[in-house]
């Protein structure tokens, strides 16, 4: 089926257009979204402010002092008319290996996930490390990458009550997705381990380790290896139950 | 702008609840999950810089809800715009929306909000901070920007670096904003909304309510977003696959109470949206106190763009600077 029968240009304010390419989350979306991102950079040049790719869409923000929404729309229509995934433009995505220490002390929801998925904790870890994931979107906090898709057996709902403070590096799952928290933030995903990888670094070229379209493989490491890479072995503080 | 000398311009005697350094915002990094930041009230921020002779984008201090006390460490030309936070210079009322010269040792105090929520303090030459990811905009949640680069709000005993201009033409005291540029923040606000793609998914009744009801600004309001209370809006779509969110997006979660997303919003989200407030409407909303009444008014794209460009032209037009 020709997937490009769908594209829609939707208004997104004075300075934006939402380009909607798909209506469902599929790994193949990334080929098209990467090509679209690339083509928009070329088509808008100096008048481009921001491009925000996500699972099925690309939000294009332009400078309304340089071009009007109508002019931006014309450019986007031209880009879409020629759009095709191209070899070499992030089609494969860079592969990152994320060394992860899977342990109940830093992944306090391992037991819950094992129970919900009817697997042993070892089988949960095995299922999480077995496949390569794609980065579908960045958001929530700087460098926070939404990755998928998970082994269906691991699909667990978010916590009813989010944690006030999820430690940096926490590796987590929710629904069909997995992620690692770049910085300590509140969060409602199920924590199953921790990585020593620096996911967001203001001094790194490009700042974020992971980008939309990249591939990620979680690799299980033991505590000494995790610690020797600079991993923080401090356990996740227990959730305070709300008094009911 | 001309070059100048970096020096300590102010010492923070009392920081108050929330004072943040803001340039125009952080751009070109939103695909990394990094938010926009920048002044919640673009209009007042831009005028503060204009009145002090600064270029667009020069960092100024956004003072929310008052409580700030500063001491000038050298002679400076400043301008305070935006909310009336009972600003005083050495105990005397400080005129707003105009540039004034203050002496070394002068005390600037910001008290309780009389009208509006956020005042902007600009200094001729500009406040100085090392840009982080291309911007000095302070986003506390992301620990980015501000005077120390780590997203820290102003704190007691901070020393604020300024660039004092060597060009005598910069920041002439007595520059005044025209009367029509000084909004009455206590008046009911009419907010221009550009209709969005999910507009048609709302029920007819909800669309009628959206543009006819009085909306009350909720006390759950910050630089990420402002919640509005009123009739419950019903949308055929409960939630969507997450996608990029632009400034002023008016999202409607399942409880039917819209949230206008402002400068520090998360970069992606999945609730249906009525549309987007224009940048000037978002600015206006950022000055509304909890309980204040606002109305939504649909606006066409060309009309909205015309108004926006007109605002930029007015604030940038150097030759029309009214001199006192």
Please give the residue range of the domain that contains residue A78.
3-82
A141–B142: do the CB atoms touch at under 8 Å? yes
| C-alpha distance from B199 to closest chain A C-alpha (Å) | 11
Q: How big is the A-B interface in CB pairs under 8 Å?
A: 136
Taking CB atoms and an 8 Å cutoff, what residues of chain B touch A49? 27-28
Strands (E), B267-322: 268-269, 273-277, 293-298
Residue B194 is nearest to which of A11, A56, A68, comparing CB atoms? A11
- pLDDT score at B318: 65
Domain end: A57, A82, A107, which one?
Answer: A82
- pLDDT score at B171: 60
Structure tokens at B87: 């600003």
The answer to whether residue B324 scores a pLDDT higher than 60 is no
Taking CB atoms and an 8 Å cutoff, what residues of chain A touch B143? 183
Which chain B residues touch A if contact means CB-CB below 8 Å? Answer: 27-34, 132-133, 141-144, 194-197, 241-249, 266-269, 275-276, 278-279, 301-302, 304-305, 308-309, 312
B133–A207: do the CB atoms touch at under 8 Å? yes
Q: Does residue A1 belong to the interface with chain B, where contact is any CB pair within 8 Å?
A: no
Q: Does residue A9 belong to the interface with chain B, where contact is any CB pair within 8 Å?
A: no
Taking CB atoms and an 8 Å cutoff, what residues of chain B touch A50? 27-31
Claim to verify: residue A109 and residue A140 sit in the same structural domain: yes
A142 inside domain: yes
Assess contact for B56 and B11: CB atoms under 8 A. no
A244 inside domain: no
**How far, rounded to the nearest angstrom, does the alpha carbon of residue B263 sit from its chain's CA centroid?**
8
- In the predicted model, what is the mean pLDDT of residues B51-79? 97
Structure tokens at B295: 């109305």
Claim to verify: residue A109 and residue A180 sit in the same structural domain: yes
Q: Domain with A51 in it: what CATH number? A: 3.30.1360.40
- pLDDT score at B273: 97
Claim to verify: residue A69 and residue A167 sit in the same structural domain: no
Chain A residue with minimal CA distance to B145? A202
Domain end: A56, A82, A108, which one?
Answer: A82
CATH number for B189-313: choose from 3.90.180.10, 3.30.590.20, 2.40.100.10, 1.10.10.60: 2.40.100.10
A11–B196: do the CB atoms touch at under 8 Å? yes
pLDDT tens digits, B208-261? 999 999 999 999 999 999 999 999 999 999 879 999 999 999 999 999 999 999
Q: CA separation (Å) from A39 to A76, A77, A78, B198, B321?
A: 9, 12, 10, 26, 42
Taking CB atoms and an 8 Å cutoff, what residues of chain A touch B243? 18, 52, 54-57, 59
Residue B268 is nearest to which of A24, A64, A137, comparing CB atoms? A137
- pLDDT score at B173: 83
Q: Does residue A202 belong to the interface with chain B, where contact is any CB pair within 8 Å?
A: yes
Residue A25 is nearest to which of B241, B279, B312, comparing CB atoms? B241
Assess contact for B192 and B302: CB atoms under 8 A. no
Helices A110-117 and A121-130, axial angle in degrees (round to 10): 90
pLDDT tens digits, B148-175? 999 999 999 999 999 986 665 556 788 9
| Torsion region of B62: left, alpha or beta (phi above 0 gives left; psi -120 to 50 gives alpha) | beta
C-alpha angle with apex B265: B260 to B267, nearest 5 degrees?
A: 120
Taking CB atoms and an 8 Å cutoff, what residues of chain B touch A45? none
Claim to verify: residue A69 and residue A176 sit in the same structural domain: no
| C-alpha distance from B114 to closest chain A C-alpha (Å) | 31
Claim to verify: residue A125 and residue A207 sit in the same structural domain: yes
Domain end: A34, A49, A82, which one?
Answer: A82
Q: CA separation (Å) from A171 to A188, A233, B2?
A: 12, 13, 49
Claim to verify: residue A127 and residue A55 sit in the same structural domain: no
Chain B residue with minimal CA distance to A66? B309
Give CA–CA dist A194/A170, Å, rounded. Answer: 4
Give CA–CA dist A214/B31, Å, rounded. Answer: 13
Nearest to B32 by CA among A38, A181, A203, A200: A200
Structure tokens at B174: 């007595």
Give CA–CA dist B23/B27, Å, rounded. Answer: 11
Count up the domains in chain A and report the number. 2
- pLDDT score at A244: 34
Q: What is the dihedral of CA B121, B126, B130, B136, to 10 degrees?
A: 50
What secondary structure letter does DSSP report for A90? S
Claim to verify: residue A63 and residue A105 sit in the same structural domain: no
Residue A14 is nearest to which of B141, B195, B278, comparing CB atoms? B278
- pLDDT score at A5: 56
Give, for all 244 residues of chain A, the pLDDT tens digit. Answer: 444 458 999 999 999 999 999 999 999 999 999 999 999 999 999 999 999 999 999 999 999 999 999 999 999 999 999 999 877 655 678 999 999 999 999 999 999 999 999 999 999 999 999 999 999 999 999 999 999 999 999 999 998 889 999 999 999 999 999 999 999 999 999 999 999 999 999 999 899 999 999 999 999 999 999 999 999 999 998 865 443 3
Claim to verify: residue A144 and residue A68 sit in the same structural domain: no
Claim to verify: residue A119 and residue A214 sit in the same structural domain: yes
What is the location of CATH 2.40.100.10 in chain B? 189-313
Residue B242 is nearest to which of A37, A50, A139, comparing CB atoms? A139
Chain B residue with minimal CA distance to A37? B31
pLDDT tens digits, B292-323? 999 999 999 999 999 999 999 999 986 544 44
A236 inside domain: no
- pLDDT score at A1: 41
């Amino acid at each position: 089926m020709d997937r490009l029968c769908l594209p829609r240009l939707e208004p997104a304010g004075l300075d934006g257009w939402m380009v909607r390419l798909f209506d469902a989350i599929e790994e193949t979306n990334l080929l098209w979204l990467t090509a679209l991102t690339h083509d928009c950079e070329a088509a808008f040049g100096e008048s481009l402010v921001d491009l925000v790719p996500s699972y099925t869409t690309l939000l294009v923000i332009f400078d309304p002092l340089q071009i009007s929404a109508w002019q931006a729309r014309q450019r986007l229509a031209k880009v879409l008319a020629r759009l095709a995934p191209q070899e070499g433009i992030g089609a494969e995505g860079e592969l990152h290996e994320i060394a992860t220490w899977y342990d109940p002390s830093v992944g306090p929801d391992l037991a819950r996930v094992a129970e919900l998925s009817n697997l042993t904790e070892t089988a949960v870890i095995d299922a999480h490390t077995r496949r390569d994931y794609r980065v579908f979107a960045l958001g929530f906090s700087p460098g926070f990458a939404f990755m998928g898709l998970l082994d269906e057996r691991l699909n667990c709902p978010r916590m009813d009550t989010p944690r006030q403070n999820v430690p940096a590096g926490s590796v987590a799952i929710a629904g069909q997705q997995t992620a690692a928290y770049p910085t300590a933030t509140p969060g409602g995903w199920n924590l199953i381990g921790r990585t020593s990888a620096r996911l967001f670094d203001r001094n790194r070229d490009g700042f974020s380790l992971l980008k939309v379209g990249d591939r990620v493989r979680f690799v299980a490491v033991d505590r000494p290896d995790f610690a020797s890479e600079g991993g923080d072995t401090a356990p996740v503080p227990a959730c305070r139950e709300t008094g009911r | 702008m001309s070059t100048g000398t970096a020096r300590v311009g102010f010492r923070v005697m009392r920081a108050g609840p929330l004072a943040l350094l803001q340039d125009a915002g952080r751009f070109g990094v939103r695909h990394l999950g990094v938010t926009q930041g920048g002044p919640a009230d673009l209009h007042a921020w831009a005028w503060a810089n204009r009145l002090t002779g600064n270029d667009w984008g020069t960092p100024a201090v956004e003072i929310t809800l008052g409580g700030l006390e500063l001491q000038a460490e050298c002679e400076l030309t400043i301008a305070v715009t935006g909310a009336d936070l009972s600003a005083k210079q050495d105990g005397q009322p400080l005129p707003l929306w105009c540039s004034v010269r203050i002496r070394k040792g002068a005390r600037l105090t910001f008290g309780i909000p009389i009208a509006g929520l956020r005042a902007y303090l600009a200094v001729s030459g500009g406040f100085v901070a090392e840009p982080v990811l291309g911007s000095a905009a302070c986003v506390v949640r992301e620990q980015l920007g501000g005077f120390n680069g780590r997203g820290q709000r102003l704190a007691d005993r901070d020393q604020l670096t300024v660039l004092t201009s060597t060009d005598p033409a910069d920041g002439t005291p007595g520059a005044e904003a025209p009367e029509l540029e000084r909004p009455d923040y206590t008046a009911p606000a009419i907010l221009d909304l550009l209709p969005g793609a999910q507009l048609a998914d709302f029920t007819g009744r909800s669309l009628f309510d959206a543009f006819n009801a009085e909306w009350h600004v909720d006390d759950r309001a910050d630089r990420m977003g402002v919640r509005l209370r009123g009739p419950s809006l019903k949308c055929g779509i409960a939630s969507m696959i997450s996608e990029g969110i632009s400034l002023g997006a008016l999202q409607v979660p399942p409880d039917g109470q819209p949230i206008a997303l402002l400068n520090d919003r998360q970069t992606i989200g999945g609730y249906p949206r009525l549309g987007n407030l224009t940048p000037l409407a978002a600015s206006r909303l950022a000055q509304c106190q909890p309980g204040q009444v606002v109305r939504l008014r649909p606006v066409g794209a060309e009309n909205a763009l015309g108004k926006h460009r007109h605002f930029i032209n007015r604030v940038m037009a150097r030759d029309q600077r009214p001199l006192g």
